[in-house]
Amino acid sequence: MTASSADSPHRRKNALTGEWVTVSPQRTKRPWQGDEAAESEVTGVTYDPDCYLCPGNTRANGLVNPDYSGPWAFDNDFPALFNEIGPNETGRNERGPDEASLDETRPADALSDAAAEGQRAATAADSLFCSEPVSGRCRVLCYSPDHSKTLTKMTEGELSAVVQLWSDEVRQLRKQYRWVQVSENKGAMMGCSNPHPHGQIWAVNSLPTEAVKESTMQAAWFEAQGSVLLDQYRADEERSGERMVVATEHWNAVVPYWATWPYETLLLPRRHIDHLDGLMDEEQVDLACLLKSLLGAYDRLFATACPYTMGWHGTPGAESLPDWQLHAHIYPPLLRSATIRKHMVGYEMLSEAQRDLTPEVAAEQLRQAISTAN
For 272-283, the pLDDT digits (tens) are 999 999 999 999
Q: Per residue in 175-217, pLDDT tens?
A: 999 999 999 999 888 888 899 999 999 999 999 999 999 999 9
Contacting residues for 265 by C-beta, under 8 A, at least 6 apart: 245, 253, 254, 255, 256, 259, 294, 329, 330, 366
Per the model's pLDDT, the better-predicted residue between 44 and 290 turns out to be 290
> What is the band of 125 on the pLDDT scale with cuts at 50, 70, 90?
low
Most confident of 186-190, 218-222, 318-322: 218-222
Check residue 231 and give its pLDDT: 98
Q: How confident is the model at residue 337 (pLDDT cuts 50, 70, 90)?
A: confident
Residue 114 has pLDDT above 90, yes or no: no
* Cα 224 to Cα 81: distance, rounded to the nearest angstrom: 37
Q: What is the mean pLDDT of residues 215-235?
A: 98
Residue 43 pLDDT? 63
Q: How is residue 46 annotated by DSSP?
A: S
Q: What is the DSSP string of 257-313?
A: TT--STT-EEEEESS--SSGGG--HHHHHHHHHHHHHHHHHHHHHHTS---EEEEEE
Q: pLDDT digits over 292-309, tens only?
A: 999 999 999 999 999 999
- Give helix 209-225 / helix 229-240 axis angle, nearest 10°: 80
pLDDT tens digits, residue range 159-180?
A: 999 999 999 999 999 999 999 9
Q: Which residue has the higher pLDDT, 84 or 358?
A: 358
Q: Burial letters for 63-76: b for 16+ Cβ neighbours within 10 Å, e otherwise?
A: bebeebebbbbbbb
Give the pLDDT confidence score for residue 29 in this predicted structure. Answer: 67
Given this model, what pLDDT does residue 331 score? 97
Q: What is the pLDDT of residue 227?
A: 97
Please state the rounded mean pLDDT for residues 7-15: 94
DSSP state of 169: H
Would the CA dihedral through 237, 241, 244, 247 be positive or negative? positive
Please choose, from the candidates 261, 262, 243, the residue with its C-alpha nearest in 3D space to the C-alpha of residue 252.
243
Catalytic-labelled residue, pool 147, 196, 198, 275: 198
Is 198 among the residues known to form the active site? yes
- Does 71 or 88 have the greater pLDDT score? 71
| Residues 281, 284, 288, 294, CA torsion sign | positive
Question: Per-residue pLDDT averaged across 145-162, rounded?
Answer: 97
Longest pairwise C-alpha distance within the chain:
62
Q: Domains of the chain by range and CATH?
A: 208-371 (3.30.428.10)
Residue 53's pLDDT is 97
Which percentage of the chain shows pLDDT scores above 70? 83
Rounded to an integer, what distance in angstroms lies between the CA atom of residue 116 and that of residue 130?
Answer: 14
Q: What is the reported pLDDT for 104?
A: 38
255-271 pLDDT, tens digit each? 999 999 999 999 999 99
Would you say the pTM of this structure is higher than 0.75? yes
pLDDT at res. 103? 42
Could you count the other beta carbons within 10 Å of the beta carbon of residue 226? 8
Task: Name the band, by pLDDT with cuts 50, 70 and 90, for residue 91.
Answer: very low
pLDDT in tens, 362-372: 999 999 999 98
How much is the mean pLDDT over the chain? 87
